[in-house]
Amino acid sequence: MDNKHKILITGGTGLVGYALKQISKNYESVYDFVFLSSKDANLCNYEETIDVFKKIKPSVVIHLAANVGGLFKNMEHQVEMFEHNVKINMNVVNCAFHFGVKHFIGCLSTCIFPDKITYPICENELHNGEPHVSNYGYAFAKRMLEVQIRTYREQYGVNYMCITPCNIYGENDNFSLENGHVIPSLIHKCWLAKQKNELFVCKGSGKPLRQFIYSADLAHIIMVILQKSFMEIQLPHNIIVSVSEKEEVSISYVAHLIARAFDYEHNLVFDNMSADGQYKKTVSNEKLMELLDDTHFSFTKIEDGINETVAWFEMQKIENIQNLRL
């Protein structure tokens, strides 16, 4: 008889889902993983979401699915970012509860914290003011996921919780020039600039500060949190998952790292006429580090993570070009 716990990972083919899949073999004796993609079901549709839960019958859900994008997508598509994410979250959490899911981890983002606030930001300050105007549609939708999970937890006593990662990057990211987050977009832009022997232009001044977490690190932390949940350790309803404050870096530093990885740093320039977005959103990872105290976990240095991500991206480009020539 198979006593494995079945884990449904929504957004299973995205950045974090890919990272979880890479390490899933380490947990196959305990868990049966199901990686759900947008091709399998439209989670904005309640009936399709019900069908997913009827078919898979998970006991655990790691909810990563979302309509996400970088600064300019968030600014230009506020309605879609709000409505799509509210629908997805409402459907997934509701179905998880009604189909008897025992453990639920929902993924938020540090970009949803208040814009005007003292630093470093802690988990209990999530609703202490409005988010930055550049992404309030997405941010308020994600805040409602935190509220939804907290109310289910309080009213029904279920083992549901949120994690709030800082900026995530890594292999299998969305490298879109228009809709990707800052690191994957800059990687793609630098690669193109080098191919065309053009300037590598980074939008904005490069001065804003960010904390970045490598996707493989986040995947590992998610599994640690899940294992502690099964040990019936009383976990907070929301945990910030981030590198420390001292590892916060500027967008300029990130752009230089990317350009250096392509050996193209001499052609990097900054477009000071473009919007910078929120200047900083420094968070505290104190609660996380207490949770990881017995695991000897260490974060991947951003210099190493960017080099790994650039190498992965270049390999994908080489393989695509080779396939086109077949």
Would you please indicate which residues are annotated as catalytic (active-site) residues? 138
3-state secondary structure of 292: coil
d(CA 230, CA 225): 9
The strand pairing partners of 8, in sequence order, are 34, 61
Q: 243, 299 in Cβ contact below 8 A?
A: yes
Q: Position 85: which residue type?
A: N
d(CA 79, CA 76): 9
Alpha carbon 148 to its chain's center: 19
d(CA 152, CA 291): 23
d(CA 253, CA 208): 10
Strand 212-214 relative to strand 238-241, pairing:
unpaired
